[in-house]
A and B are shown apart, each in its own frame.
Chain A
Amino acid sequence: MSILRLEHVYKSFGKLDVIKDLSFSVSEHAVFGFIGPNGAGKTTTMKMILGFLKPDAGEIYVCNEKVIYGNTKTNRYIGYLPDVPEFYGYMRPWEYLQLCGEISGLSSAKIKDKTDELLHIVGLDGVNRKIRGFSRGMKQRLGIAQALLNDPILLICDEPTSALDPIGRKEVLDVLSVVRDKTTVVFSTHILSDVERICDSIGVLYQGKVVMQGKLSELKNTYRQESVLIEVEDKSQVSLLEKEIGKLNAVSQIDVFENSLKVTLNQMDLINNAVLELVIKHNINLKKYEVLEPTLENLFMELVQ
């Protein structure tokens, strides 16, 4: 069952067409990475899902219920973390969560339990300062806590890691991986390593359209580049190896670096052994032999160029 579904959504601001015929869906319990360069329309899309912006055309469904601009009932299924979450600076974290809980219609006992639990998960337990003194990372973590308060079926995070340092990023990603069992997560980012760390499916947004969508593992297979990286101990052997490998007929391209070669092949299975035989025959000391996995970075660059 798809938790979130967009059908032919269009949105423009003045003359600028931000979203052009955007369609995609996210299935239950997925961690969906919504990838795209800055300005691709990720935030706009999320705001339309929340009913904060009105699509010019198209329809959006959350849990099979249509999203209505303005006052959408579908928001009760959603936990939302905006790109820059803004809180009431004069409140303490637990006061803010209490407010959110009451608005969501949770019982007082439930609010108490969830507040304690979530403040612990995001590492803000025992923080009794007012929010105005919070760092960016602390606000982001409080943002996650409020988004998870009502046990959302769909958690939408807008660039949750972009403004954070490596430690803060790890903390946020850890929290997201903890909650993946219970909820479907959609998070936008332009940091691809974050996607590789926790997402199982992705959608790439480029120029207002999803140009690629699917399971991360399947996409990697489809776009697999058949190449190996050979790194040698002795620099002088690089040219010898290049010459010998060049004679093999399944090789399509060889890139030479200082003490390594990147060999692109037409057929991985047949040639792997042939290359290794050459290495043994010429008594070359290998430092590293790696069958290259396609990185998201490469996929992304390929699509965007």
Chain B
Amino acid sequence: MRGFFAFTKKEFREHFRTYRIIILAAVFFIFGMFSPLRAKMLPEIFSSLDMQGILINIPEPTYLDAYSQFFKNMTQIGLIVVLLVFSGMITNELTKGTLVIILSKGLPRHTVILSKYLVAVILWTISYAAAAVLNHVYTVYLFNQVSGEGVLFSLFCLWLFGVFMLAVIILASTITQGNYGGLLLSAGILILLMVLNMFPKCQRFNPVSLAANNAGLIANTVSVSDLVPTVWITVGLTALGILLSIFIFQEKQL
């Protein structure tokens, strides 16, 4: 257990000193603040432009626009940033060989995987929560109203998708070799899942649904019960991914 804490401390230190924490914090703060602001400003930007007599009718934006802007940012650039930031955490150690001494000290191999995953999940949770809170506060401030029971569940779905994605990254980087293997394979898996999500029959079983229906959940065009099975499937796949990573890493020749 002591080894687990020591390695976890090292992970936090590493994320901090290799700029990963700063990147996550900056990006998610920007998204949290910028999304409602952009929704609010959009009509005004248009009206300030000289449209040469063409009338564009933009309805007055509501909190729904703010939230859909937030989810759009998070599911696009946000998840790409998560992928970039975390895809190196195992590959870097394996290509450089920094784990050799650590493992020769008797640190169990599964500890490496579990500790890295735990730290990644914590960082994702904190930065995502910060972004969500900021976004909510700004939305309330700018639009004066937010309603809908879907908000929390919708936020939870995207969070869970992030947790799933981190498991995919861990698995991909234990399987592959080389500097960018983990990054490319994770990206490949996610793209494949997105493609599969274009078929309505797959959507129920596909974790990507958790990141595709967030705005709909808030606008009540998608009901919570539609996504509950997907939530459980995603939880299962995440656990499976981590177990598989531990198993593969255990057998890996260093």
Within 8 A of B (CB), among A72-90: 72-73, 75-76, 78-80, 82, 84-88, 90
Q: Which stretch of A95-103, A199-207, A239-247 is in the interface?
A: A95-103
How far, in whole Å, are A146 and B107 apart by their CA atoms in the complex? Answer: 14
Q: Which residues of B contact A80 (CB under 8 A)?
A: 100-101, 104
How far, in whole Å, are A103 and B106 apart by their CA atoms in the complex? Answer: 7
- Max chain A Cβ within 10 angstroms of own Cβ: one of B96, B103, B254: B103
Once the chains bind, are B6 and A86 in contact (CB under 8 Å)? no
Given contacts A70-B109, A102-B2, A103-B6, contact A50 B253 (CB under 8 A): no
Instruction: Give the number of residues in A that approach B within 8 Å (Cβ atoms).
Output: 32
Binary interface profile of B, 76-112, with partner A (CB < 8 Å = 1, else 0)? 0000000000000000000011101111111111000
Once the chains bind, are A54 and B105 in contact (CB under 8 Å)? no
Q: Is A104 an interface residue (CB 8 A)?
A: yes
Once the chains bind, are B105 and A104 in contact (CB under 8 Å)? yes
CB of B9, distance to nearest CB on chain A (Å): 8
4 A-B pairs closest in CB distance: A102-B6, A90-B17, A80-B104, A75-B106
In the complex, given contacts A82-B97, A86-B96, A143-B101, what are 7 additional A-B residue pairs having Cβ atoms less than 8 angstroms apart?
Answer: A75-B103, A80-B101, A88-B10, A102-B2, A103-B102, A103-B107, A146-B101
Sampled A-B contacts (24; CB under 8 Å): A47-B254, A52-B100, A52-B104, A70-B250, A71-B250, A72-B106, A73-B106, A75-B105, A75-B106, A76-B106, A79-B104, A80-B100, A80-B104, A86-B98, A99-B9, A99-B10, A102-B2, A102-B3, A102-B6, A103-B6, A103-B7, A105-B2, A143-B101, A150-B105
Q: Which residues of B contact A (CB under 8 A)?
A: 2-3, 5-7, 9-10, 13-14, 17-18, 96-98, 100-109, 250-251, 253-254
Q: Which residues of A contact B (CB under 8 A)?
A: 47, 50, 52-54, 70-73, 75-76, 78-80, 82, 84-88, 90-91, 95, 99-100, 102-105, 143, 146, 150
